[in-house]
Amino acid sequence: MMADLSRFTWGKKKKIEPEEKDEMKEKGTEGNLNSILKEMAEQVDGLLCIAVAGSDGVAISTYVPPGSMLNAELAAVQLASIFRISRTTSDKLKAGELEDNLLTSTAGQILIRPLGEESYLAMVTTRDAPLGIVRLVVKSYASKVEQALGKGN
């Protein structure tokens, strides 16, 4: 399965029209976050779930594409445990700051990337989803998501 590369929009910053900007403000953090997750979702084939959650496992925002049977709340809790253990592991093994954690199973791939100290961004895909694109999308959107989170505080 080949990814449709024509849909990639990063690098070229989308011009935000003044009206659109106001609309984003009105929607608040949650609306803004949801639209970012949706934008991410459009660029990845084989997506099962995108989650932004706290390290305590409480989901902040999740996106599950139609057709995916994944339980996003459960995913947020489980992935928070992995996020915490990866950080403890890199600390204990004196390996420096955690950049990301990639879990591969027979049917899926999970990429978790920290957003500051207290939260993370995770993408769950099928096993055949192109890993390079998953990493690129998560990496390039991490700061955007972090920004959207920061606005809410």
Task: Sketch the per residue contact string, 55 through 74, with another protein: x for CB under 8 A, - otherwise.
Answer: --------------xxx--x
Closer of 73 and 146 to another protein (Cβ): 73
DSSP symbol at 152: H
Stretch that binds another protein, among 8-16, 32-40, 57-65, 81-89 (CB under 8 A): 81-89
Say which residues have a Cβ less than 8 Å from residue 89's Cβ, sequence separation at least 6: 95
When binding is defined by CB under 8 A, the residue of 24, 59, 98, 136 that contacts another protein is 98
Residue 23: partners with Cβ closer than 8 Å, 6 or more residues away? none
The reply to whether 102 sits near another protein by the rule CB under 8 A is yes
Among 13, 14, 15, 92, binds another protein (CB under 8 A): 92
Nearer to another protein, 28 or 116 (CB): 116
| 32 CB-contact burial (10 Å; exposed 0-12 / middle 13-18 / buried 19+) | buried
- Residue 128 binding another protein, by CB under 8 A: no
Question: HSE on the CB side for 93, CA within 13 Å?
Answer: 9
